[in-house]
Amino acid sequence: MKILIIGAGGVGIGLGASVASQGADISIYARGKTAEAIKENGIKRCGLFTHYEINNVPVYEDYDDIPKNYFDYIFIASKTTANTDIADKLKNHRDILKDNTKIIIFQNGFGNDEEYLKYFTKKQVYCARVITGFTRPERHISEVTVYTEPILLGSLQNENPECLGEIADLITSSGIKCETTNEVDKYLWAKMLYNCTLNALGAILNFTYGQLTENPYTLEIMNSIIDEIFEVINASPYRTLWKTPDEYRDIFYSKLVPDTYNHYSSTYQDLNNKIPTEIDSLNGKIIQLAKEYNINVETNEFIYNLIKAIESNF
């Protein structure tokens, strides 16, 4: 099985090491110092679960150099801010794909398949819900820092996800449980609730997820974000795993946040590194849908505007 991984951050390297440890033939698209580090050192997965070290990983810095008619799967593990460019590059280099190549998007946010569906069919484009925490302590190393639930693979276009079973099996065999599901949309919205409530607010205040739950002022903000998102979900054709905001809050405060108490969000890391965040795919997506359904989401808008103001100073 031949897999091209686009996006050599913590998620991409972690997934690459996972499937390669079980015999998959992986290649990575990376550039600059990251490409140099992988060429020199290979890739490693450490932290929770089994540690793996994969040497001699092919690295491509230019799409023109990627082998033609070669890959069975393409993993998109980049920041969502790169989706328009990646989709365009794949359209212009579609000869690197086989006729039945599957694209799996391992990203935060909702609706990330839209850019790829402009050029590829519904039977080619799939999404993953990843709630496992990956960080990148060095450019070629992924550390698994948090695990709460399995990685889930499926289609937002109602395609049968059974074709992804072999990928789920590889990741599971590497030590991180992974499953296919016909309800990936519900789970992605569950993650949207989690990320939109915690990521930006924690980044703005330099708080861990746990610290956000111990302050009455941040609790009020988070509860408002949750209420607004449920209003958007209920007005839209989408659904999630809980029927009411209170039902979600019960598990959010009792399990989801305690399991990730010491975690700093990816948004926090992006702001510290002075790079654009994924806010448009998170709270920005809530705002986009709210406008479509005429819903007031002023708390999400306020958080979104604060992140955009910080970014504008980079």
191, 255, 274, 285: the catalytic one is 191
Residue type, 313: N
* Angle at alpha carbon of residue 112, lines to 9 and 141, rounded to 5°: 10
CA atoms of 180 and 193, how far apart (whole Å) = 21
Please report, for the chain, how many H helices and E strands are present, in that order. 13, 12
Place of tokens 């290979």: 42
Neighbours of 95 (CB within 10 A): 11
d(CA 57, CA 227): 46
> Is residue 91 annotated as a catalytic residue, yes or no?
no
CA distance 56 to 143: 20
> Residue 45 corresponds to which tokens in the numbers above?
């997965």
CA gap 178, 48 in Å, rounded: 15
Q: Please give the positions annotated as active site.
A: 191
